Amino acid sequence: MRVQFALDKACNPDDSAFYSFLFVLSQKIGAEFQERIRVSVTIGANMIDRAEKLVKEGLSESQVTYLSGPVTARAKKLPVGTERDPKLDKLITGVFSH
């Protein structure tokens, strides 16, 4: 398995910023990785400061452990091709609490 994540910053029409957290789980089949799960979660305005801190400082060891632990465990249980899962969305935003 391979886990990838990214934090993207974009602007709303009113020029206010928002962030979106992308989580991708891929599985090695033969010699290549094939994407199983791709979930993008928009980060709420109440977490903008935490998202900006993550951009500046990178992931902490505890955040990496959290993403590779409970978040990945949940993603592995989902059907291939899943793009939305409320429980996974909640777990992903939990990275800002670690």
Question: What confidence score (pLDDT) does residue 16 get?
Answer: 87
What confidence tens digit (pLDDT) does each residue in 26-49 have?
Answer: 999 999 999 999 999 998 888 889
Question: What confidence score (pLDDT) does residue 64 get?
Answer: 93
Q: Which two tokens stand for residue 26?
A: 């891929």
What confidence tens digit (pLDDT) does each residue in 75-85 have?
Answer: 999 999 999 99
Q: How far is CA 92 from the centre of its chain?
A: 5
What is the rounded distance in angstroms from the CA atom of residue 80 to the CA atom of residue 64? 23
